[in-house]
């Protein structure tokens, strides 16, 4: 009888170990699932020179930062063989330009375009500064090949990171720039600085089945 009890106990322990191992493996698998990652992009540097317009906000020579949070599970709202447009929810982008700072209160757009000379990252943002509405388009020129074509299906990190950003020399030419429209007028300024990004795993929250 004793030997049977010991044999049964050993079997229960073995099954428990296997169950715990399988549970742990399922957690590890979940952690590396790209759908659970949040992408953080930070663009910072100096705004200027003025390429077109009158710069009514006085941003020329000021420091600027654009910070973006985007889920890597997003699907493009529009795409071609070399580009993808993603819609980001309200609050996903924070912009600081000189003494002006705002977070998006409505959806914004992120456009990634892969070309032979550069991979471009563009954000189209609507916001308000001191109650005044403005539209901002931030375009960063990254190294060609910074992304693979997988970024046309879901957002992902670019490499290397950080990367140096060189200001455009003309409003319509290549290079990093910021365009903003306010008071009915449009200004375009160059942008010199860096772009960096990272992806972090979102926390796994428990199911809503707890008793209170």
pLDDT one-digit tens code per residue, 142-191: 999 999 999 999 999 999 999 999 999 999 999 999 999 999 999 999 99
The two tokens of residue 198 are 């990272």
The per-residue pLDDT for 6 is: 39
Query: pLDDT band at 131, cuts 50/70/90?
Result: confident
d(CA 122, CA 113): 8
Please confirm whether the linkage preceding 49 is cis (ω < 30° from 0). yes
Higher per-residue pLDDT: 207 or 1 = 207
What integer best gives the mean pLDDT of the chain? 85
How much is the pLDDT for 169? 98
d(CA 161, CA 175): 18
pTM value is: 0.79
Using CA atoms, how far apart are residues 113 and 82, in angstroms rounded to an integer?
A: 6
């Amino acid at each position: 009888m004793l030997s049977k009890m010991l044999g049964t106990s050993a079997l229960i322990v073995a099954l428990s170990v296997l169950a715990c191992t399988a549970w742990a493996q399922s957690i590890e698998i979940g952690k590396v699932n790209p759908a659970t990652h949040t992408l953080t992009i930070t663009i910072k540097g100096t705004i200027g020179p003025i390429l077109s317009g009158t710069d009514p906000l006085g941003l020329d020579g000021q420091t600027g930062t654009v910070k973006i949070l985007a889920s890597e599970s997003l699907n493009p709202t529009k795409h071609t063989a070399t580009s993808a447009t993603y819609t980001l929810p309200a609050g996903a982008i924070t912009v600081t330009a000189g003494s002006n700072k705002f977070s998006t209160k409505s959806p914004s757009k992120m456009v990634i375009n892969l070309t032979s000379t550069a991979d471009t990252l563009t954000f189209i943002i609507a916001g308000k500064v001191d109650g005044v509405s403005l539209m901002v388009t931030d375009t960063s020129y990254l190294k060609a090949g910074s992304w693979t074509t997988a970024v046309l299906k879901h957002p992902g990190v670019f490499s290397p990171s950080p990367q140096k950003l060189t200001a455009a020399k003309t409003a319509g030419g290549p290079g990093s720039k910021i365009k903003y429209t306010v008071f009915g007028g449009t200004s375009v300024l160059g942008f010199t600085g860096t772009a960096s990004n990272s992806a972090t795993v979102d926390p796994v929250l428990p199911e809503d089945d707890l008793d209170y």
